[in-house]
Amino acid sequence: MSSRGSPRTGPYSALNNSPSRSGSLLSSSSHGVLRRESSQTFEGAITDSPYPRANSQISHSISEKYSLSPDIRAWGSDLSSDLVESDDVLHNPNQRDRSSGSWNSRGLTNVGCLLILALSILALFVGYPALTYARAKAPEAVGLNLGGAFNASGQIPQIGNYGLVDLDTPKDAWSRKSLRDGSDMVLVFSDEFNTDGRTFYPGDDPYWEAHDINYWATNNLEWYDPAALTTKNGALHITLEEKKTHNLWNKFCFTGGYIEANVRLPGINNVAGLWPAVWTLGNLGRAGFGASLEGMWPYSYDACDVGTVANQSRNGLPIYSITEGDAKYGGSLSYLPGQKLSRCTCPGEEHPGPVHPDGTYVGRSAPEIDVIEPQVGRGANGLLKGEVSQSAQYAPFDKSYEWKHTAQNMKIYNASASKLNGFVGNIVQQAASVVTDTNQRCYQLLEDCYSIYAFEYKPGFDGAYVTWLSDNKLAWTLEAAGFGANALTEISARPVPQEPMYIIVNLGMSPNFGDIDFEHLTFPAVMEIDYIRVYQPSDSINIGCDPEDFPTKAYIEKHVDAYMNYNLTDWRPGKGGYGQPFPKNSFLGEC
């Protein structure tokens, strides 16, 4: 193709019968290639030649042999050399086109498309698997809600109705007065359970998490299964089928204040065997995970003396720790292994802190305060009736588990409905407990009603207390002095729990809690929770599982296996143990 013009004006243009045409005559070579033979000028058609016909034999033979194209100029076509047609760029490239770089708009588009394609492939085959793995591991993270209203690892979503205060909580319930002095308290946590169909498998819910374990520590007969928990008709339903708990461990904690639960109890009020509960536990112990609890529950202690050591005795002393305890165990007072994270911890030993001004560690533990543990008792008329035990668990222990329940240290508001619990303790716990009648109608198999159970507490020593409510009525109060120092067992005062506490709700059954009437129990048994709310004084709000004065985050993360593996039954080395020693104890001369 010539570069000098359009193919229509080149040297290979065909001739036709039009007059006054100049051009090249084409013929076929022996090689089948068109070539230029000669150049002639025709003044007219061959038939108009002035020469004799005989002399026109070649022309006649050409016209007879070939059918020549007509002259397209006769059709009005523009054959000028400077004519630019729309398709010229396809066969007549511009020199500048060949010299242009790749960073023009077309090049950038190509590179951009390739880059997007590469990133998409990486996202599909690298990013998506990594994200899936990270999300699958998220429920096992232990930095949930540590030290504030939101979790330290960012796992609580800031969407919808997931604040600490449920937006469904009635506005008139966003504050209340203290039971103690009438001071103002504000709502710091609530869950109304109004959204039906919630599930509580690990990672499903920002606050609650159901366990999939057997609660062996209290000899429970059931297997706790997350499938047994859901929300329906505006309430949390916990079902016990001849089939744990869900809790806020390491997700929401509070120190001091008021907790209230509106509950419909499972079963019926006169058939024994079920063990429902709403309770709180210090965050350094995880319910059902034995390794995390050894040497931690139910201690509430910040002194360095014999109360921190195993069996609450040293070299057979004090004598009351050997002879004035549980008769089933030869009079031994305590079988506890000693307070693991005590004030006696030697300098440099592992301890979550903090440190007192004198350089000793603050005694740390996993104390327990119960909102309710319902049971079946017998009234004065001999008939069975529903009751609730409302208690705090303590260690170390008083002689014969007898705390100072004097008129100054214990107040029962209605003696006809409440009485001191006959159970005071055993080799693993001491209980300050009062039993109070329930609302006898608010049970699963009776009426569709709920009853409010609650406690308010102030942690510490001076002025500290716990006050319980049953059926929204004052039941009893425990003053901190009730667990003051005991010279007979040579122990110091035990404070009202100062640890950040988390909330547990469960429904189980165990012979440890009382007789089980299998003949009359009805399954499935369902406990319903209409709501749970937590209030604190408006001038001293203290929520979060990792407060500065009682930190837990770093310690839990360092020993995460002890808090995640329920098959580890002990902290110390041995079969089923986590394999870590207790810190050395200065009282035992180990520093």
d(CA 460, CA 255): 10
If you average pLDDT over residues 299-316, what whole number do you get? 98
User: Does the pLDDT at position 9 exceed 60?
Assistant: no
The fold for domain 171-588 equals Jelly Rolls (2.60.120)
DSSP string, 535-559: EEETT---BSSS-TTS--HHHHHHT
User: Does the pLDDT at position 155 exceed 50?
Assistant: no
User: Does the pLDDT at position 88 exceed 80?
Assistant: no
User: Does the pLDDT at position 146 exceed 70?
Assistant: no
Length of the chain counted residue by residue: 591
Task: Tell me what pLDDT residue 213 has.
Answer: 61
For residue 420, the cross-strand partners are: 434
Task: Tell me what pLDDT residue 129 has.
Answer: 84
Task: Pick the closest to residue 533 from 164, 211, 178 (CA basis).
Answer: 164
If you average pLDDT over residues 77-81, what whole number do you get? 69
First to last CA, the chain: 101
User: Does the pLDDT at position 409 exceed 60?
Assistant: yes
User: Does the pLDDT at position 485 exceed 80?
Assistant: yes
More confident residue, 139 or 222: 222
Task: Tell me what pLDDT residue 52 has.
Answer: 45
DSSP structural state of residue 106: H
If you average pLDDT over residues 570-585, what whole number do you get? 95
d(CA 165, CA 188): 6
At 35, the pLDDT band (50, 70, 90 cuts) reads: very low
If you average pLDDT over residues 456-470, what whole number do you get? 98
For residue 263, the cross-strand partners are: 451, 529
Q: What percent of the chain has pLDDT over 90?
A: 62
d(CA 454, CA 533): 9
Residue pair 144/545 in contact (Cβ under 8 Å)? The answer is yes
If you average pLDDT over residues 564-577, what whole number do you get? 93
Neighbours of 369 (CB within 10 A): 25
Task: Tell me what pLDDT residue 1 has.
Answer: 42
Neighbours of 398 (CB within 10 A): 24
C-alpha dihedral sign at 294, 256, 543, 530: positive
Q: What is the pLDDT of residues 313-372, one digit of tens each?
A: 999 999 999 999 999 999 999 999 999 999 999 999 999 999 999 999 999 999 999 999
Q: What is the pLDDT of residues 414-452, one digit of tens each?
A: 999 999 999 999 999 999 999 999 999 999 999 999 999
Task: Pick the closest to residue 266 from 258, 274, 256 (CA basis).
Answer: 274
If you average pLDDT over residues 472-482, what whole number do you get? 98
Report phi then psi at 238, rounded to 5. -115, 115
Say which residue the tokens 């040293």 belong to: 314
Task: Tell me what pLDDT residue 94 has.
Answer: 62
All residues at 6 or more sequence positions from 437 whose CB lies less than 8 Å from its CB, including other chains: 385, 386, 387, 417, 418, 470, 471
User: Does the pLDDT at position 269 exceed 70?
Assistant: yes
At 135, the pLDDT band (50, 70, 90 cuts) reads: low
Tell me the two tokens of residue 76. Answer: 């009005």
If you average pLDDT over residues 139-145, what whole number do you get? 38
d(CA 286, CA 569): 12
All structural domains of the chain with their residue ranges: 7-85, 105-138, 171-588
If you average pLDDT over residues 475-480, what whole number do you get? 99
Burial of 156 (0-12, 13-18, 19+ CB in 10 A): buried
Average pLDDT, the chain: 82
Residue pair 393/403 in contact (Cβ under 8 Å)? The answer is no
Strands (E), 211-268: 213-214, 223-224, 229-232, 235-240, 246-247, 257-264
Q: What is the pLDDT of residues 493-529, one digit of tens each?
A: 999 999 999 999 998 887 776 688 888 998 899 999 9
Say which residue the tokens 């009635």 belong to: 170
Task: Tell me what pLDDT residue 324 has.
Answer: 96
User: Does the pLDDT at position 17 exceed 90?
Assistant: no
